[in-house]
Amino acid sequence: MARLVEIHPVDPQPRAVGQVVEQLTAGALVAYPTDSGYALGCRVGQHDGTERIRQIRRLDARHHFTLMCASFAHLGQLVRLDNSAFRAIKAATPGPYTFILPATAEVPRRLAHPKKKTVGVRIPDSRVVQALLRELGEPLLSSTLILPDRSEPMTQGWEVADTLEHVVDVVVESGDVVAEPTTVVDFSAGYPQVVRVGAGDPAPFS
């Protein structure tokens, strides 16, 4: 049975944030709200959590997992950035963007794209997610919570808890969540390519 933890969307309570991070540190798989719908998350080194996400979403090896980062300090440890990419991404974050970039050796091989050796990274504009990441002190391995029979991410904590109560360990409830996907920008070829237009303005990368 999944544990339901309520966190205020504007002023996240340190105690509630600490409860979720304590579970993450112990190896939990968490369903949590982001600025683009609910996501599934676990620690980067949690191999079991990665496989559980694959099973819930029925993902194959080509799926790009996303590494949620609190800041550029986190992001710089995980991906290789040239000066132009650094400036463009810094200007657009935090915000509703996912950037695909070459992974560094810090990223486990099983998380990178098997051929391109790339990974998706985000710096989200969500006080709840930022609070969780700061308390955790490391990036969070994530994947948007879109179930195999749906085309949109889940947005209601109670529905997530009711649907996934036996396959996740913690569900974070934080009020209404918008289900607008991020704009995805691929920098793996050395220049930006907008591969999906979502909530983020694609103009700076076009």
Residues in the chain: 206
Nearest partner of 32 among 195, 149, 181, 175, judged by Cα? 175
Determine the pLDDT at residue 7.
97
Contact in structure between 67 and 141 (CB atoms under 8 Å): yes
Least confident span in 10-24, 141-155, 192-206: 141-155
Give the model's confidence band at 26: pLDDT under 50 very low, under 70 low, under 90 confident, else very high.
Answer: very high
Percentage of the chain beyond pLDDT 90 is: 63
pLDDT by residue (tens digit) across 122-177? 999 999 999 999 999 999 999 999 999 888 888 888 899 999 999 999 999 998 88
Contact in structure between 54 and 121 (CB atoms under 8 Å): no
* Backbone phi and psi for residue 91, each to the nearest 5 degrees, phi listed first: -70, -25
DSSP state of 102: E
Domain ranges of the chain: 3-205
pLDDT by residue (tens digit) across 31-77? 999 998 999 999 988 889 989 999 999 988 777 789 999 987 778 77
Determine the average pLDDT of the residues in 17-28. Answer: 97
Longest CA–CA separation in the chain, Å: 47
pLDDT by residue (tens digit) across 65-79? 899 999 877 787 788
- H or E stretch including 26? none
Measured CA to CA, the distance from residue 183 to residue 146 in angstroms comes to 16
Query: In the structure encoding, which two tokens stand for residue 170, read together?
Result: 């913690």
Measured CA to CA, the distance from residue 14 to residue 190 in angstroms comes to 40
Q: Please, which residues bridge with residue 120 across strands?
A: 66, 100
Chain-centre distance for alpha carbon 155: 15
Domain 3-205, what architecture?
Alpha-Beta Complex (3.90)
- H or E stretch including 52? helix 47-57
Give me the residue label for tokens 């997530």. 160
